[in-house]
A and B are shown apart, each in its own frame.
Chain A
Amino acid sequence: MIPYPVLTTTTFLPLVGAAFILLFGSERVARWVALITTLVTLTASLPLYLFFDKASSALQFVESADWIPSLNIAYGMGVDGISLPFIFLATLLTILCIGASWEAIRVRVREFYAALLVAETAMIGLFSASNLFLFFVFWELMLVPVFLLIGVWGGPGRVYASIKFLVFTFSGSVLMLVGMIAIYRSCGTLDFKALALARASLQPADQAWLFAAFLAAFAVKVPMFPLHTWLPNAHTEAPTAGSVILAGILLKMGAYGFLRVSLPILPQGVQLFLKPMLIISVVAIVWGAYVTLVQTDVKRLIAFSSVSHMGFVTLGIFTLNPGGVEGAILQMINHGIISAALFLCVGMIYERTHTREIKDYGGVAKTAPVYSTLLALFCLAAAGTPGLNSFVGEFLIVGGAFKTQAWLGAMAVWGVALGTAYLIWLYYRVVMGEMNPGLTGLKLELNAREVATLAPLAALAVCLGLYPECVLSYLRAPVTQLLATRIAP
């Protein structure tokens, strides 16, 4: 039907682009090569959406090849309705990252785009992997390009931020490595589908500590309270493209891990840790929102808002009912779109003003109406306004939480209210009111390239808000399957 292996091609095209840039590209053509590579990657991935069977919960576009026969580890790719939206998000956001970096990145241009493209390979590969080994390889592959993106092209505190990011995420993932090896020893396979069947050979006691080992990796990436402390540094110091990748995709990798590994393979471990997971999720929501309120740095504010928003995601996942889980996945996509958009907005204005302090802004609307309109749209979307995308996700999650335990739902609603507060207040201080004297004389309005960068995200925010079914319809079958197998002993 399709003349090429779609997933493998989509995954490794960016890597080819990166190699090309490093080997042959000059500083001038690097960004063009990167742009073309990412556009071709998106085009190559189109068959995934055109020929996907939404009614099936099985992995589709499956590719498989021998890899390490002595260990019975195969190279396996495949997507289901849960992973598909993330592949789209990853391919789209990378293109937008290039748009945002077009003029902002002036030093070491080749390495920048190469690192970005390697990161894209890691992201797409992670969501396409159909076995745990490959999942882990891509998980770790993400580490070094993001480390470099933060540390080389970031802000003043970039070195500290990048090392903190490295140490936190690597600490988590090495524990996942031990967990993975222990699973392999017990089950003799690392294929996701085979593991879901072979999980009976994992004793409940083993499941508990295995869950803890994987939790270490996933909780750092999500990030869950109290392991989130790397996030404000990393997101704030990273260049715009780095923040977009971090907030848009990297944070979703952890939550995706829960869906791909913890829930299907370690049901008893999940059951054991259910209460603590729910509690730290609502703590993240409420506490994260309060911390966000008091931030004085725009980028840091948005970074902290991710802690609160990702709290919703983990809350939804661990409600373990269809509404909550579907809402959580939808909210991961929503957050990927909105936080990416907010970081892009902040980055665009930072390039003009070179300040991130909220008090240095004010009255931006007077000279930059288009920018202010778009920012308003994204702030409202992030706050969960009906008609925009986050509303649906948060509604489903809160509904799921009420079904589990009413007080969880109540706390989550409290978080929504606080979210509205910090976003509207941010918008008020930056855009409304009198023009800050420091901003006079600056040309704040967006140019065509920047509008084009934000437009797809704005369109998505509206589309998903008005017709969430376009993502939810993908999720229904796999989520039903996920929860059904989980409940069975």
Chain B
Amino acid sequence: MSDLALLIPELILVVMAVGLILVARRIQRTPVAPVGTVFAAMAAALASGWVLSWGSKTGFGGMIILDGYSQFFKILSAATLALAVLLSVRSLDGEQVPRAEYHALLLLATTGMMLAVSAHDLLPLYLSLETMTLCSYILVGIRVERPSSNEAAIKYFLLGSFASALLIYGISLTYGVTGTTDFAGITAALSGHGPGTNLLLLVAIGLVSAGLAFKIAAVPLHAWAPDAYQGASAPVAAFLAAGSKAVGLAALGRVCLAAYSSEGHVLSAVLAWLAGLSIVVGSIIALSQTDMKRLLAYSSITHAGYALLGLIAGTPDGASATMTYAFFYVFMTLGAFGVVIALGERGEKLDGYRGLAAQRPGTAVLMLVFLMSLIGIPPTAGFAAKFVVILSVVRSGHMALAVLAVVCSVVSAFFYMRVAVFMYMNEPQESPPARFPVAVFAALAVAALVTVIGGISPGSLAPWAVSP
């Protein structure tokens, strides 16, 4: 019983998901599903905080851990779910998407995320990540009548299966070396070896890192993201960009610090390469994008790189820098996707932003705030996030990587500001977009508030960003 109590947040989501599926036929035309899902997300977030008040503990024979780190990401996942649901309110209207199932899949994917961040064993980690990814495959392809959506789902599925295979292969090699899949057990088993001596272990670490790098779309395992985001509906893309990335980072952070910490050097090198490549490749390819969802996909690849910078140091400080980054990133990226969604069809291509500031000044200002945050210009949260991760890199002594990261942020400033140029400095070519629903407005307001307040008072987050 006490073990199950650790999973109250997940249970709330699962119960809601099952409930929605059971009554799916009756609620297809009613707002029950979105409203219920938002409330379930809020309840899960509250429960995550409440469960933490019992103190850190492990359950299910050490497979599940409950600590500040896990609950931080659980609350973040719940927030992602709630905002994604609010953002999908209108985009579901014109589509042949079964509402109850759509929301049930979002709930189940979030359940997977929550389990993944509290996994303290490679196998539950794998299973929960697969839960998340399987739901994501369907969500990407849920607009069944659209060929682009189907294509995106298939691509995502094929590449995703490949990455899962890498992950499970890495896990099996780790088991071969250490005789356990439990994080504590792995650390104990490895403490006897000299670091870097066991080739099999190095391969295992590489494979596990690769499997997790896929989830956060770090280069060179990023290829799925642009296609999947473009083919998926914008709210699903937002959900993937924010949630999947945050959880991938959380898992990677836990694996680095809790399981393979004795191989810190190897991990640092692997992560440094992943981060550097993601930042460079993501920001350069983004320059030529004209589709907003693809643009934001490459932006998310770049941000995966920035977030990884914190983990390179392999220290608790570095991990909390990554946590801060993930937190702010989720809100600013959901905000940017939110504007894309609010503008409807027009928002999905770069040209649609021409003259937006003349037609919808408020929406344009919101987008400008999110863009500034994505670039990392103060006083927005993106700057605070960039500051802490670069501080972490500088502390770890990778000065060249720090310079590379900031120089690439100039490149990214160029492509983000192109949107601002279109909004402010071009004449409108299309009729003004329709007013957007209150739900979308609420989501945008939350994202904007976090983005601005996070920039003005970044310290307010610090007490919660505690590494594993």
Residues of A whose CB lies within 8 Å of any CB of B are 22, 66-71, 108, 110-111, 136-137, 140-141, 143-144, 147-148, 151-152, 158-159, 162-163, 166-167, 170-171, 174-175, 177-178, 181-182, 184-185
Contacts and interface: CB of A to CB of B under 8 A. Distances in A.
Contacts of B413: 166-167, 170
Given A22-B361, A181-B402, 19 more contacts: A68-B458, A68-B462, A71-B388, A71-B391, A108-B357, A111-B361, A140-B378, A141-B377, A148-B420, A151-B421, A163-B421, A170-B375, A174-B409, A178-B390, A178-B402, A181-B387, A182-B394, A182-B399, A184-B391
B interface: dominant SS: helix
B357 A67 contact: no
A67 B459 CA distance: 7
B406 interface: yes
Contacts of B458: 68
A151 B390 contact: no
B410 A171 contact: yes
A162 B379 contact: no
Interface centre among B375, B417, B462 (most CB of A within 10 A): B417
Given A22-B365, A140-B383, A163-B414, A70 B406 contact: no
A303 B346 CA distance: 40
A163 B414 CA distance: 8
Given A143-B377, A166-B417, A181 B391 contact: yes
B11 to A, nearest CB: 34
Contacts of A137: 378-379, 383
Nearest to A139: B378
Contact of B410 (A67, A108, A162, A167): A167
Contact of B378 (A22, A136, A152): A136
A269 to B, nearest CB: 16
A277 to B, nearest CB: 22
Interface of B: 357-358, 361, 365, 368, 372, 375, 377-379, 383, 386-388, 390-391, 394-395, 399, 402-403, 406-407, 409-410, 413-414, 417, 420-421, 424-425, 457-459, 462
20 contacts: A67-B459, A68-B457, A68-B462, A71-B459, A111-B357, A137-B378, A140-B383, A148-B420, A151-B421, A162-B421, A163-B421, A167-B414, A170-B410, A170-B413, A171-B407, A174-B406, A175-B403, A175-B406, A175-B407, A177-B386
A167 B410 CA distance: 7
A174 B407 contact: yes
A68 B457 CA distance: 7
Nearest to A158: B425
A166 B387 CA distance: 20
Interface core residue of A137, A177, A184 (most chain B CB under 10 Å): A177
Contacts of B459: 66-71
B395 A185 contact: yes
Nearest to B317: A70
Given A69-B459, A70-B459, A140-B377, A177 B390 contact: yes
B68 to A, nearest CB: 14
Contact of A141 (B357, B379, B424, B425): B379
Nearest to B424: A152
Given A137-B379, A152-B424, A158-B425, A178 B410 contact: no
Given A108-B358, A111-B361, A182-B394, A144 B409 contact: no
